[in-house]
Amino acid sequence: MCEWYRRNYACGHHFTGASEWCYRYSQTQKRCKVVVTQVDYDASVCKSCMKKGHKTEVPWEHMIDRTKITGTAIAWKFRNQSKGEFLSGNRTQTAFPLALNFIASALGSGILFSYPELATITGVQGVVVYALSSSLPLLIFAVLGPIIRRKTPEGFVLTAWTRQRYGTIAMLYLSFMTLVTLFLYMVAELSAIGQVVNALTSLDGLPVMIVQCVITTIYTSLGGFKISFITDNLQGAMVVCLIIIVAITMGVKTEIDTSLIDTSGLLKPTLLGWQLLYILPICILTNDFFLSGFWLRTFASKTDRDLRIGVSIAVAVILCVLTMVGVTGLVAAWSGALPLDQIADSGSVAFFLLLQQLPAWVVGIVLVMVCTLSTAAFDSLQSAMVSSASNDLFRNRLNIWWIRAGVVLIIVPTVVIALKAPSVLQIYLISDLVSASVIPVLVFGLVDRFYWWRGFEVVVGGLGGILTVFLFGLVFYEGDAQRAANLLIISEGLYADDWSVFGAFVAAPVGSFLWGFGALGVRLGFQYVMAKKSGRRFDALDRPIGPGFTPDADGVPHTVSREEYTDVTSDVEIVKPAGKFF
């Protein structure tokens, strides 16, 4: 055994906890070699020497720990940065680092459950639809990012534009939805990493969850957005390399039983597969607007060209990665790792059933990859939550040490809820349903010709969209209020064998616009009556003058340029007046 292990393990043996191997020191070769042996894990006994008391540990954990500690070391370097640098990095990043960041932020350990599971249910059709629906919506940041940045160049999250366009009430409303979404994603990510560690090693995932929280909290509270960006660069590159290695190994080592391909029916289209053509794009596209981490990276691009190139690269890589992960569900079924009669019960662990047929070193690489994915996603969510809360609730006037304390405080409830969390996919779906109600009526105001659309319509429309889902449930379930309420939290999952989930995601955006235009009529009617009553001119439909609506000499509104604003990246503070809510 190598010197490090010899010093730490009395008998020179090391239990992996994931396979029936131990490492024995070779006196003649002076190096580690692998010896297959029978290991009694319950008694922690190595049968080769019958000694007890060995410490159970996965060698790959040392690599994982080093990557996390590296992030902390880098964060220490940036501990004295200004508040503005802590919260954002406006116009500082080129295309390739942006691409790596979008990749790292978009992928999390939960993909190893949801994508293979969907593949076992909807087959090839589901894999393609899910991968395209998860990757292509990122292009919206390349399209809308430059527009919003020109309107609000001093901002770094979507709520900055919302305040300027719709007023403070609408901004706080969106901020609440955003912070809740980020919190749910943090819970889902911790829950997923705990489940992955348990599936790969049969060990309790809680210690890994706690270690990840402690390490990411330390370096995020020290370095803020900048350290999140730097570590995501490293983690994004690392994940891509590891996925390539795992994909090649699975392709070489896995044997497909061709007789199972036709029997499985996974090459045929399904009703759910067709429903997902609508459900998944509307879910993921609207929910991406809530993820402040993407907006922080959008505003961090040096130029619009860097943003377009970076997002395009990220979309291509994410599409390939998610397709490969989804295909593992198909391969698990076709190789016999997942028996066809157990798909309904075990589809969510298809990836791990397939992994059991591969060498132990592949399991180790996957464990490193998973922890890297989870850490990258988790620190991005932490950084985004802190930046959003500072910007929205305190207008960036809060002392940086209070901001850092906030990073620490949000971790405790996150871990507690993650331990009791339901399905990871269900957490995402709840957030998706809310975003499908809120976002369509919000982005309506990006078009200047709809200048008459105000914050009142946005808030009423978003809440009305959620109410519409409940009303749809009452009709669909023939007056059963309990099942209608359960539809709001997608309690029966995405894979219900009826039209309930599809109908919910149609009702949400359609209902939001119906309620929004209804609110518009009420507001205009009220303002018209008040104008007549007070004897003043009715001006509710006049074009606003202000940020985003500054008129040219010919009276035609244009979006103000960046030069008309003060660059405040060194000490971020919003100075523009809020838009009209009512």
pLDDT tens by residue, 329-356 = 999 999 988 888 888 778 888 888 888 8
pLDDT at 549: 56
Would you say residue 485 has pLDDT above 60? yes
pLDDT at 87: 62
Alpha-carbon gap, residue 411 to 420, rounded angstroms: 15
pLDDT at 550: 47
Q: CA 214: distance to chain centroid?
A: 20
pLDDT at 347: 81
Tell me what the mean pLDDT of segment 494-503 comes to: 84
User: Poorest-confidence range of 51-55, 145-149, 194-198?
Assistant: 51-55
Between CA 186 and CA 339, with CA 429 as vertex, the angle to 5 degrees is 95
User: Poorest-confidence range of 52-66, 143-157, 424-438?
Assistant: 52-66
pLDDT at 15: 36
Would you say residue 417 has pLDDT above 60? yes
pTM: 0.78
472-475 LR contacts (CB < 8 Å, sep 24+): 472/503, 472/504, 472/507, 472/511, 473/500, 473/504
Tell me the average pLDDT of the chain: 78
Q: Report whether 350 contacts 84 (CB < 8 A).
A: no
Burial label for 234, CB within 10 Å (0-12, 13-18, 19+), is middle
Identify any residues that bridge with 39 across adjacent strands, giving them in sequence order: 46
Q: Token digits for 391?
A: 């910007």
Would you say residue 116 has pLDDT above 60? yes
Q: Token digits for 184?
A: 């749910």
pLDDT tens profile 47-81 = 333 333 333 344 444 444 545 555 555 554 555 55
Tell me what the mean pLDDT of segment 88-108 comes to: 84
Would you say residue 285 has pLDDT above 90? yes
Read off the amino acid at residue 508: A
Query: Is 103 in a helix, a strand, or coil?
Result: helix
User: pLDDT band at residue 528, thresholds of 50, 70 and 90?
Assistant: very high
pLDDT at 23: 36
Superfamily of domain 60-76+90-515: Sodium/glucose cotransporter (1.20.1730.10)
pLDDT at 509: 96
Read off the amino acid at residue 79: R
pLDDT at 531: 92
Tell me what the mean pLDDT of segment 381-406 comes to: 77
Tell me the range of 42-51, 173-182, 507-516 where mean pLDDT is highest.
507-516
Q: Report whether 96 contacts 237 (CB < 8 A).
A: no
Alpha-carbon gap, residue 281 to 284, rounded angstroms: 5
pLDDT at 79: 52
pLDDT at 539: 86
Alpha-carbon gap, residue 534 to 40, rounded angstroms: 87
Would you say residue 446 has pLDDT above 80? yes
| Radius of gyration of the chain from its Cα atoms, rounded to whole angstroms | 26
Query: Is 436 in a helix, a strand, or coil?
Result: helix
pLDDT at 293: 83
559-565 LR contacts (CB < 8 Å, sep 24+): 559/147, 559/150, 559/151, 559/448, 560/150, 560/151, 561/150, 562/149, 562/150, 562/153, 565/153, 565/154
Q: Token digits for 373?
A: 């994915």
The CA-atom distances, in angstroms, between 224 and each of 77, 78, 190, 447 are 12, 9, 20, 33
Would you say residue 471 has pLDDT above 90? yes
Ranges of each domain in the chain = 3-46, 60-76+90-515
pLDDT tens profile 458-468 = 999 999 999 99
Q: Token digits for 570?
A: 């060194």
The CA-atom distances, in angstroms, between 218 and each of 67, 211, 411 are 14, 11, 11
Convert 327-363 into a string of H (helix), E (strand) and C (coil).
HHHHHHHHHCCCCHHHHHHHHHHHHHHHHCCCCHHHH
Please report the DSSP string for 302-313 in residue order: SSHHHHHHHHHH
User: pLDDT band at residue 438, thresholds of 50, 70 and 90?
Assistant: very high
> pLDDT: is 85 or 260 the higher one?
260
Q: What are the residues whose beta carbons fall under 8 Å from the beta carbon of 141, sequence distance 6 or more?
A: 288, 294, 295, 297, 298, 307, 311
CB atoms within 10 A of CB 514: 15
Query: Is 551 in a helix, a strand, or coil?
Result: strand
Burial label for 166, CB within 10 Å (0-12, 13-18, 19+), is buried
